[in-house]
Amino acid sequence: MYVESLGRPAHFFIPADEWENVKEIVHTFLIENYDGYTVRGPYTGNWRPQLGSSPITESVYEIKVSFEGKERIPALQEFLADLCIKMSEKCLYLETGEDSWLIYP
């Protein structure tokens, strides 16, 4: 038997209504920088944009990637910040290992 570690997992969500507009951008970045990825969904999630506000229901795609080393997280964060601008999103949700982030442009 041979086992190869792929490092830490990371995943982020893209609004389903934006997925067709950005999937080629996401594909190119993740293949060039992380050698692969998986897309799952769409899933439905709920969140509050502000404390005390009414929850929003949103359909999203989950994109999963793995990589070696924490030093590779900032490049993914920068990419997601730029993607926010392209999609006119306030922020995107990202998980890396044990950490959760909201990535703003």
The enclosing domain of 71 has a CATH number of 3.30.70.120
| pLDDT confidence of residue 80 | 98
Report the distance separating Cα 41 and Cα 98, nearest Å. 22
**Is the per-residue pLDDT at 47 higher than 90?**
no
| pTM of the predicted protein model | 0.90
Give the model confidence (pLDDT) of 10-42 as tens digits: 999 999 999 999 999 999 999 999 999 999 999
Structural domain containing residue 41? 8-103
- Tally of CB atoms within 10 A around 8: 17
Report the distance separating Cα 32 and Cα 90, nearest Å. 26
Residue 17 belongs to some domain of the structure: yes
Report the distance separating Cα 51 and Cα 17, nearest Å. 25
**Is the per-residue pLDDT at 97 higher than 90?**
no
Instruction: Enumerate residues 6+ apart whose C-beta is below 8 A from 32.
Output: none
Residue 1 belongs to some domain of the structure: no
Report the distance separating Cα 29 and Cα 2, nearest Å. 29
Average pLDDT of the chain? 94
| pLDDT confidence of residue 19 | 97
Q: Considering its fold, how many domains does the chain have in total?
A: 1
